Amino acid sequence: MTRHALVTGGGSGIGAATARALSAAGWRVSVAGRRPAPLEATLATLAGPRGIAATLDVTDEASVTAAVAAVEAVAPVDLLVNNAGAAASAPFQRTTPALFHEMIAVNLTGTFLVTRAILPGMVARGRGRVVNVASTAGLVGYPYVSAYVAAKHGVVGLTRALALEVARRGVTVNAVCPGFTDTPLIDASVATIAEKTGRDADAARAELARSNPQGRLVSPEEVAATVVWLASDAASAINGQAIAVAGGEVMTG
C-alpha cells in the first residue's frame, strides 16, 4: 500500500526537497502552502504517485481544516511534515509585538494547527509519523532573531510533549533542526546582512557558512534525507527527538 505524506511549505527550499525525496522513496506526496504556482511546480517534479497541491494559511484554523480535508480525500495522511515557516530579524528592542506574534503564528501555531487536524486520524489507525522542521534556533540562541528563536524553541517543546502523549498509539513525533541551509530563506538573510553591513552577497553568505564547523551551508537535500529516515520503519523507535542537521554546529545529548 502506498503511504501518503503531506508536506507544508512544499513550494520551495526544504519543503520541495523533502517532497521529492519522499516521492523517490515511494510515498504519495501532497504539498501545501500559500501560493499555488510553486506547489504545482513541486508536484510536477515528483517521480512517484502524486497527491494534490493544497492552498492554505497555516495560521488560520478554517483554512487548515479545509486543506486537510481536501488532502485526506485523496488518502489518509500517514506522514505530516510541518515545514511551513518564516524568519524575520530585528534587534530585540525593535521587535514589535506584531512581528513577535507573526513569528509565533507562522512557526509554532501553524505547526500546532496542522498537527491537530491530522493527528486524530493517525491515532485512530494506530500508525503515523509527524516530523516538525524546526531549526538549530530551537536548540540554542541567536542574536537579532529573538522572536524566531522563541517560536522554534516552542516547536521543539511541542514535539517532545506530543511524542510522549502518542508514544503508545503507533505514532512518532520528531523534529529536524537544520542549521543555515541553502534555501530562499537564506537568500533573504544574505540580502539583509549585505544591506546592513555593506558587504557583498558572497561575503555575507560566507559569514553564515562559517557557523558550520564544516565551513558550508547545509543542503535542502540533506535535511530531506533526515526526514525520509524518520518516516521509515527503521526509525520506529525514534520519538521525541530534535535532530540537528548542522555539520556539528549544535551537538545534542
Contact between 78 and 5 (Cβ < 8 Å): yes
3-state secondary structure 124-182: HHCCEEEEEECCHHHCCCCCCEHHHHHHHHHHHHHHHHHHHHCCCCCEEEEEEEECCEC
Residues of 177-212 as b/e, b for ≥16 C-beta within 10 angstroms? Answer: bbbbbbbebbeebbeebbeeeeeeeeebbebbbebb
Name the grid cell of 239: 520519538
The closest of 220, 174, 226, 185 to 14, measured between CA atoms, is 220
- The single residue of 27, 100, 112, 148 carrying the catalytic annotation is 148
By the 10 Å C-beta count (0-12 exposed, 13-18 middle, 19+ buried), 215 is classed as exposed
| Catalytic (active site) residue 148 | yes
How many residues can be counted in the chain? 253
Contact between 245 and 177 (Cβ < 8 Å): yes
Name the grid cell of 80: 505530516
Which residues have CB under 8 Å from 50's CB, separation 6+?
23, 28, 29, 30, 43
Contact between 14 and 82 (Cβ < 8 Å): no
Residues with catalytic roles: 148
